[in-house]
Amino acid sequence: MAQQTQSAVVPPKITFWERFENNRNLLGLFLMLPTAALLVTFLAYPLGLGVWLGLTDTTIGREGVFIGLENYKWLFADSVFWLSVFNTFLYTTVASTIKFGLGLWLALILNQHIPFKSLIRAIILLPWIVPTVLSAVAFWWIYDSQFSIISWSLMKLGFIDQYINFLGEKNNARAAVIIANIWRGVPFVAISLLAGLQTISPILYEAATLDGANKWQQFRHVTLPMLTPIISVVMTFSVLFTFTDFQLIYVLTRGGPINATHLMATLSFQRAIPGGHLGEGAAIAVAMIPFLLAAILFSYFGLQRRAWQQGGGH
């Protein structure tokens, strides 16, 4: 009897709460709940829903019915869609390449011994901090067809004799949005690569110099191989952000002139929200996924491969 009361009084206090607290799996599950709830409801589920919507003819205000691959067939024959695919690739390739080049250059400069280094680093990151939409508004004004400061300066310097139509002409508009994208992306690449550069030990450079390596050889055979892992991650992110860009285009050109700057993201928005064709818009968004995966895999593994080529081959 006495034993029974003891086991009835003491253990219940231990059993539930303490056992729960000491069970990693249960407690882990419990702590994961808020995150899981939010991510499953607003990330995983919409991802699936998007794929489903792409297979229906849903419009705003009307539930769609399943129409199989009809949307994709339609898009396959749609020249505007293919133009947007082309634009997205052009935009991503050109902008990412230049961002990488300039970013690496800037990182190498910042890695030197210069006065006010942390202040300069802070200033350089500013374009990356401020809302893209708002800096895009500034670019919009800089690219204005009548009051552009670039046109004005070039005129005064005598390089051109009439104002440049930055956003109204096909290739000008493409160049203009790419430049704005580069302006915003270079700081991210530069500061991330700088962090990578700072982990390279100066001893390696000293050893290379003693072996008679010149500046270029040091860069080619010490800096680049040491930096490759971080380059691959930074560029994967950069490609990802550029490929899915929406804000810059929406503010600067809304895809115009004559769809010359439409990216897949902006086209998907235009068809789905102002156009009302949710199904078609979702199909375009889903069509981005394989391209996106390919782009990520390419930049990730492409650069990874170069890493062991450099490590093993030379």
Partner 1 sequence: MFGRKKEKETGREGMGYLSSLPLRVVTVYVPLVVFIILLLFPFYWMGLTTLKPDTELLDLNRFNPFWVTMPTLAHIKKLLFQTSYPRWLWNTMLISVLSTFISIFCAVLAAYAIERLRYKGSRFIGMAIFLAYLVPPSILFIPLATMVFKLGLFDTRLALILTYPTFLIPFCTWLLMGYFRSIPYEIEECAMIDGASRFQVLIKIMLPLAVPGLISAGIFAFTLSWNEFIYALTFISSSENKTVAVGVITELVDGDVYHWGSLMAGALLGSLPVAILYSFFVEHYVSSMTGAVKE
Residue 94 in contact with partner 1, rule: CB under 8 A: no
Shortest spacing between CB 85 and partner 1, in angstroms? 14
Residues 6 or more apart in contact with residue 65 via CB below 8 angstroms: 56, 57
String marking each residue 208-247 x if it binds partner 1 according to CB under 8 A: -x--------------------x--xx--x--xx-xxxxx
Shortest spacing between CB 313 and partner 1, in angstroms? 26
- Using the rule CB under 8 A, which residue among 3, 35, 162, 171 binds partner 1? 35
The window from 5-13, 66-74, 93-101, 134-142 that contacts partner 1 (CB under 8 A) reads 134-142
Shortest spacing between CB 188 and partner 1, in angstroms? 7
Three-class SS of residue 66?
strand
What is the per-residue burial (b if ≥16 Cβ within 10 Å, else e) of 193-221? bbebbeeeeeeebeebeeeebeeeebbeb
The window from 3-11, 119-127, 170-178, 301-309 that contacts partner 1 (CB under 8 A) reads 119-127
Judged by CB under 8 A, the number of residues near partner 1 is: 99
Sheet strands (E) in the chain: none
- Cβ proximity to partner 1: between 5 and 37 the closer is 37
Which DSSP string do the residues of 235-265 spell out, in sequence order?
HHHHHHHHHT--HHHHHHTTT-STTTT--HH
Neighbours of 93 (CB within 10 A): 15
Subset of residues 151 to 180 that bind partner 1, contact rule: CB under 8 A: 152
Record the tokens describing residue 39, joined without a space.
């991510």
Shortest spacing between CB 121 and partner 1, in angstroms? 7
Tally helices (H) and strands (E) across the chain: 16, 0
Residue 188 in contact with partner 1, rule: CB under 8 A: yes
Shortest spacing between CB 145 and partner 1, in angstroms? 10
